[in-house]
Structure 1
Amino acid sequence: MIPQIPVTTLEAASDLLAEAIDSAGPEKEALFLAKLALALAAHLDDNAVLGTAVAAALADL
Structure 2
Amino acid sequence: MSSTTPHTLTVPALETVYDTLATAIDQAGPEKSQLFLVKLALLNANVLADAELFGQHIQIALRDL
Matching residue of 2:47:
43
State how many pairs are aligned. 61
Q: Give the % identical residues.
A: 49
- Distance in 2, matches of 1:8 and 1:52, equals 24
Q: How does 1:1-61 map to 2 (within 5 A)?
A: 1-2=1-2, 3=5, 5-61=9-65
Deviation above 4 Å: which 4+ runs of structure 1?
none
TM-score by length of 2: 0.85
Higher relative contact order (CA 8 A, sep 6+): 1
Which protein has the bigger helix share?
1
How big is the alpha-carbon RMSD for the aligned residues of Structure 1 and Structure 2? 1.3
SS at 1:9 equivalent: helix
Query: Gaps spanning 5+ residues in structure 1: where?
Result: none
Query: Gaps spanning 5+ residues in structure 2: where?
Result: none
